[in-house]
């Protein structure tokens, strides 16, 4: 069996790519981690710990804020961990098809002190819309002033922009600002290890002793949850991240995939604009990551699914990875039909 907290080489390397080689927190020994069953497992271990120990020893009434919209499992994970007050915060502005930064900041300003905020580190799921660095600075300033706790979910590092560093910018900035935080990491997408369930919870505390105490409690939680994690996927990641040659090769592979998605975004937008499809389509290239909020309404989505066999969620979210050079024209023409025929 692996240790309860997981493979040490995996945990150290996973936290390193999240926080960076020059992370002050790593240098000051105030970073710990827990190998988990995917990103969901990392979220759940973090949620269980926060519910038990975050602000006293019973936090069922502590508000947990998730973006509107968010990945649907965020709500379920925190509810099942025992939190009773899950609240949405403004994020997506449907009218302008972009980030509602003012609504987001207003919700943070009005949130009770010590509330927990679940933040998407990059490639927001499902909108594909991320705050800019300047907007992240605004978010951090409000969270620091209001004593709000950041819980990052990093499921797509490297897959958003093609750069591990750029996709981790927000997490690293919060660390540089002195925040204590959690960061749930998934290696399902950027390593293609979906079925191996490879995740990590990175813990950044105020000092080394603080982190040791947190990990000791997380160890108890893990012992009664999955007892100890599987090794195969973790060894694949650890071997890759600890070898300079393999690490460089992997980064190149991830960038190739990210660049392909960015190209598909550009090509889809250009085709829709060339067809004269009603509306604006710049949001497709302004969004990032695997998913795009197209702005299509439920009836238009239904038309695409039933008449064109193009499958997307009722919310209008489409998986950009499903686009290829062979189906781009068909998808663009079908979206054009849906928008022009159905209001």
* Average pLDDT estimate for 235-263: 96
pLDDT higher than threshold 90 for residue 58: no
Nearest in space to 313 (alpha carbons), one of 305, 324, 323: 305
Helix axes 8-19, 232-242, angle to 10 degrees: 50
Domain 258-341, classified CATH 3.90.1150.10, yes or no: yes
Percent of the chain's residues with pLDDT above 90: 92
Confidence of residue 343 (pLDDT cuts 50, 70, 90): confident
Active-site hit among 130, 189, 250, 281: 189
**Active-site residue identified among 48, 71, 107, 169:** 71
189 is a catalytic site residue: yes
Residue 284: the pLDDT is 92
- Report the top-level CATH class of 8-242: alpha beta
Per-residue confidence (pLDDT) for residue 59, from 0 to 100:
85
Q: What is the pLDDT of residues 118-144, one digit of tens each?
A: 999 999 999 999 999 999 999 999 999
Residue 95, pLDDT above cutoff 90: no
Q: Which of 14, 3, 4, 6 is nearest to 237 (CA)?
A: 14
CA–CA dist 123, 107 (Å, integer): 21
Mean pLDDT, the chain, as a whole number? Answer: 95
The mean pLDDT value for 173-188 works out to 97
Hey, where are the domains in the chain?
8-242, 258-341
Residues 224-239: what's their mean pLDDT? 97
Q: Which of 48, 130, 153, 167 is catalytic?
A: 153
pLDDT for 209: 97
8-242 and 258-341: identical CATH topology: no
Instruction: Flag whether the pTM goes above 0.85.
Output: yes
Q: What are phi and psi of 242, to 5 degrees?
A: -90, -10
Q: Is 22 a catalytic residue?
A: no
Does 250 participate in catalysis according to the annotation? Answer: no
């Amino acid at each position: 069996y692996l240790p309860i907290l997981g493979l040490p080489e995996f945990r150290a390397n996973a936290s390193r790519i999240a926080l960076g080689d020059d992370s002050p927190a790593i240098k000051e020994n105030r970073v710990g981690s827990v190998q988990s069953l995917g990103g969901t497992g990392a979220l759940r271990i973090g949620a269980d710990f926060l519910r038990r120990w975050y602000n006293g020893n019973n936090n069922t009434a502590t508000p947990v804020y998730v973006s509107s919209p968010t990945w649907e499992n965020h709500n379920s994970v925190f509810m099942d961990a025992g939190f009773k007050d899950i609240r949405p915060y403004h994020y997506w502005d449907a009218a302008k098809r972009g980030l509602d930064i003012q609504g987001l900041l207003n919700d943070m300003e009005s949130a009770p002190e010590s509330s927990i905020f679940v933040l998407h580190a990059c490639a927001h799921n499902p909108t594909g819309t991320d705050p800019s660095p300047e907007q992240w600075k605004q978010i951090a300033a409000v969270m620091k002033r209001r004593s709000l706790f950041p819980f990052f979910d990093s499921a797509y590092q490297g897959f958003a922009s093609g750069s591990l560093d750029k996709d981790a910018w927000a997490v690293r900035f919060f660390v540089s600002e002195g925040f204590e935080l959690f960061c749930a990491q998934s290696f399902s997408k950027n390593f293609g290890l979906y079925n191996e369930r490879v995740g990590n919870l990175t813990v950044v505390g105020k000092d080394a002793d603080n982190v040791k105490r947190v990990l000791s409690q997380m160890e108890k939680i893990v012992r009664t949850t999955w007892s100890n994690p599987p090794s195969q996927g973790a060894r694949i990641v650890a071997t890759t991240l600890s070898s300079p040659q393999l690490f460089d090769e992997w980064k190149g592979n991830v960038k190739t995939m990210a660049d392909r998605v960015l190209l598909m975004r550009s090509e889809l937008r250009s085709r829709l604009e060339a067809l004269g499809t009603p509306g604006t389509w710049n949001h497709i290239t302004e969004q990032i990551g695997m998913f795009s909020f197209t702005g299509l309404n439920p009836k238009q989505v239904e038309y695409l699914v039933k008449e064109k066999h193009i499958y997307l969620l009722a919310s209008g979210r489409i998986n950009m990875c499903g686009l290829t050079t062979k189906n781009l024209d068909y998808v663009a023409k079908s979206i054009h039909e849906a928008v022009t025929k159905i209001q």
